[in-house]
Amino acid sequence: HTHTHTRLSKMAVSSVKEHYDGYLASFYEWSMIGDFQAAVEREATWMKEAGVGATESLSMAGPMPCAIDLGCGSGLHSFALASLCFDVRAIDVSEKLLGQLQSRVEQDSMDHCITCTLGDICDEAAWNGQPPNQTKYTVVACLGDTLAHLPSSDALARVLGLAVKHLIDKGKVVISYRDQSVALTGTARFVPVRMTDTQHHTCVLDYDEPTPGLIQVTDVLHTRSDDGTWNMKASSYSKLRITTQELSSLFEKNGFTLQYRDVIRGLCREVWQLL
């Protein structure tokens, strides 16, 4: 066993956009998704079971029902929604991840349309697209870690308000998030995300963020060089601390009722219907 040395490069706390475009986007799919097509099928399966899919008869009867994928990243849930017979508007603030989605769309031969929009999900202009068309959506999807990437609980309330405005009657919001009711302490704050022989991705959570209601997240990537040397890179950003209780109360206040809920490896997945 030979000793290796570690070279360290560390950035200061960055915005979500800087963190993704400058750092995480380069290994996001390797770490968070893995086999893209298998992941698309897996996501489409649970959404269909949760009552999110458009029916073929509905899509054949008239214009294709529309879904909006907020914080779409490289397109995992956009493709899952498209496979469930939706035309999809995909919005993200990360140019790099949206570029990965756009090149996928160009290579794909799907019947359903995915339109990519670079923008902030709190900005109504991004929901309307160019030219603005005031689309009403059957489904608003906010999956992965998107809700926690919002800067404040006010921003969360704004996004939900936009969902109410842009949903059809009895439209649905499908979300996922981690319930952060209980702060992790000690070594529980170190979460291994993915490890192979040549790369380790670990996420470190700090609940002592100076701003109440936020968690500081540091993504640490160790990469092994051909000569056996391990190099470490790290980047930090702040994430919104979300709790099931606060989120449920916000949805109920906005006229939604819970249709589906499960928890998979700490990730809460819910479908709320607008009454």
Write the DSSP assignment of 170-199 as a string of letters. EEEEEEEEE--SS---GGGGEEEEEE-SSE
Q: What is the CA radius of gyration of the chain?
A: 19
> What is residue 9's predicted lDDT score, i.e. its pLDDT?
36
Distance between CA atoms of 3 and 15, rounded to whole angstroms?
36
- Mean pLDDT, the chain, whole residue set: 87
- Please provide the DSSP assignment of 29-64 as one string: IIIIISSHHHHHHHHHHHHHHTT-PPPHHHHHHSSP
Asked whether the predicted pLDDT for residue 169 surpasses 90, the reply is yes
What pLDDT is attached to residue 7? Answer: 39
What Cα–Cα distance (Å) separates residue 248 from each residue in 4, 167, 174, 242?
A: 49, 18, 13, 10
pLDDT over 60 at 45, yes or no: yes
Residue 210: per-residue pLDDT: 76
Helix (H, G, I), strand (E, B), or coil: what is residue 12?
strand
Show the tokens assigned to 216: 């500081």
pLDDT tens digits for range 51-78 = 998 655 454 556 789 999 999 999 999 9
Omega cis (within 30) before 131: yes
Question: 35-44, 84-93, 123-132, 194-203: which range is least confident on average?
Answer: 123-132
Closest CA to 199 of 175, 165, 233, 174: 233
Better-scored residue on pLDDT, 257 or 61? 257
Structure-block tokens of residue 229: 């040397």
